Amino acid sequence: MTIQTVSTNTSYGGVQGVYRHASQATGTDMVFSVYVPPHADGTRLPVVWYLSGLTCTHANVTEKGEFRKACAELGLIFVAPDTSPRGPDVPGDANNAYDFGLGAGFYVDATEAPFARNYRMWSYVTDELPKLVAGHFPVDAKRQSVMGHSMGGHGALTVALRNPHRYRAASAFAPIVAPSQVPWGIKALTGYLGPNKDAWRSHDTVALIEDGAKYSGFLVDVGEADNFLKEQLRPELLQAACNKANIPLTLRRQPGYDHSYYFISTFMSDHLHWHAERLKG
């Protein structure tokens, strides 16, 4: 598997790169970013996967996330995939809505036409891209963790719950914790997976926990001034599910913060230090 370098820049002694490759999973070219911190030759480093939210590409967190200083200090590789397939032949929402189709892949493998051909983001972020990154960057595959924002928070928590032995840590900013119960998720899961709600449960954090999935613990931050908090995010549902299943959850409600990268960048270092503690050894 080959990659094309789009750009590289030196930052905090490491290299921030943007790369393109032809994806077998999506049938399109995909772009992703990787920050590799300064390190000794031959060293294998832990990797943090970051899954972005609705309307985003790899670029949002790469440009606004303010993660590189902490990653350089902690010795963490930081990988940011795109959120959906893209291209002239990739179907989007018929009404060009922001919350379905292009930029809104929801980290599932679609089964419904016409999306099943390209929208295979679950396979992309859990299988194809990790193999590609491991083949081109100094990754220690035994030390991986995952985090995300909003739709990507949903992705990160579900990825961790379904692969608890691969990811040592999982955290999220403003995650959609119960997509089966909120408008964003109901629209996306119906469109990609069809009307059978049983098929949705493996892509719903709260449902996965209710169905017996276990994890070592989560760190979740939400902003109390987030306009989506009550209708779309529903963190209280995650709290209740974790309490019932005895899954440790640190849920922090941050006064004054909204859904934006001003919020994410403020607490990014906290999350990366939390991940680094669990990625040691």
For 11-19, the CB contacts below 8 A with 24+ separation are 11/35, 11/68, 11/72, 12/37, 12/38, 12/68, 12/69, 12/71, 12/72, 12/73, 13/37, 13/38, 13/72, 14/38, 14/39, 14/68, 14/71, 14/72, 16/62, 16/68, 18/58, 18/59, 18/62, 19/136
150 catalytic, yes or no? yes
For 92-101, the CB contacts below 8 A with 24+ separation are 98/54, 98/55, 99/54, 99/184, 99/187, 99/188, 100/187, 100/188, 100/191
Which residue of the set 58, 149, 154, 259 is catalytic? 259
Which residue of the set 23, 52, 145, 150 is catalytic? 150
Which residue of the set 84, 171, 226, 271 is catalytic? 226
123 catalytic, yes or no? no
CB 193 within 8 A of CB 112: yes
84 catalytic, yes or no? no
Cα dihedral sign, 212-213-217-222: negative
Distance CA 169, CA 132 (A): 21
CA–centroid distance for 10 within its chain: 24
Which are the catalytic amino acids? 150, 226, 259
